[in-house]
Amino acid sequence: MTTSFIRTMPVVLALALASIGVSAVAQTTAPAAAPATAEPTTTEKVKETGKEAVDATKRTTKKAVNATENGAEKAWDATKSTTKKAANATERGTKKAWTATKKTTKKATNATKNAAVKTGDAVETAGHKTADGMRSTGAAIGEKIPGTAENAAAKKQ
């Protein structure tokens, strides 16, 4: 059961009993004379109880409104804070990724340059060795062919 139900139930019962009492009083004859210090009538009691119920409802409603407003404000503040944190984290992550990409690209470029230089050196060395080998082979062949400078030089030795 909710708090509002518990608060309103006595009021409803009081109103129901008062309505029974009012109809019962209406059916009886009026009393001769009421003493000066008489207790309040049932109608007055019901009116007072009704006023108290209205006041209690107003207070409860005001508290509920304030609680809702406070909760909404806290939720909004939390949302703003969390969004700001997420944006900052994303920004930091993006910056780190960009820096890492730049570093990795620079390393890859340098590695490619180094590999190209080494490949060029290897091709050049291989070309020189091949050319030297061809010259040696040509000289060896020339020594065996009569009338060539190589053949004459070989005979002089």
Tell me what pLDDT residue 58 has: 94
Which residues make Cβ contacts (< 8 Å) with residue 15, sequence separation at least 6?
46, 49, 50
Find out whether 19 and 25 touch, Cβ atoms under 8 Å: no
CA–centroid distance for 31 within its chain: 77
Find out whether 150 and 143 touch, Cβ atoms under 8 Å: yes
Tell me what pLDDT residue 106 has: 95
Tell me what pLDDT residue 156 has: 79
Tell me what pLDDT residue 64 has: 95
Q: Exposed e or buried b for every residue in 72-91, given b needs 16+ CB within 10 A?
A: eeeeeeeeeeeeeeeeeeee
Find out whether 151 and 142 touch, Cβ atoms under 8 Å: yes
Side chain identity at 135, as an amino acid letter?
A: R
Q: What's the predicted TM-score (pTM) here?
A: 0.40
Find out whether 15 and 50 touch, Cβ atoms under 8 Å: yes
Find out whether 43 and 26 touch, Cβ atoms under 8 Å: no
10-residue mean pLDDT series, the chain (157 residues) = 66 66 52 62 90 94 95 94 95 95 95 94 92 86 82 79
